[in-house]
Amino acid sequence: MALGVTLLFVAILSAIAVVRETKRRNFFGAGFAVLSVLVFGFFSVMTIFISGAPEV
């Protein structure tokens, strides 16, 4: 679960980087940030989905 949350945090930071690099018109950096959002977002969602929420 902690891995999924960490990956989600990285995906959120990458999404912020997409906006920042697009404003700077650095499309090469924005492209890498988009790829990071896709990869880390996918792995975080699937990690949380597969491992599930902790049972109370």
Indicate the pLDDT class of residue 1, thresholds 50, 70 and 90. Answer: confident
Rounded to the nearest 5°, which phi and psi values hold at 29?
A: -65, -35
Residue 2, pLDDT score: 87
**pLDDT tens column, 36-46:** 999 999 999 99
Residue tagged 């891995």 (tokens)? 3
Q: In this model, does residue 24 exceed pLDDT 80?
A: yes
Judge whether 4 and 51 are in contact, CB under 8 Å.
yes
Which pLDDT value is given to residue 48?
87
Above pLDDT 90, what percent of the chain? 73
Residue 44 buriedness (CB in 10 A; 0-12 / 13-18 / 19+): buried
pTM: 0.82
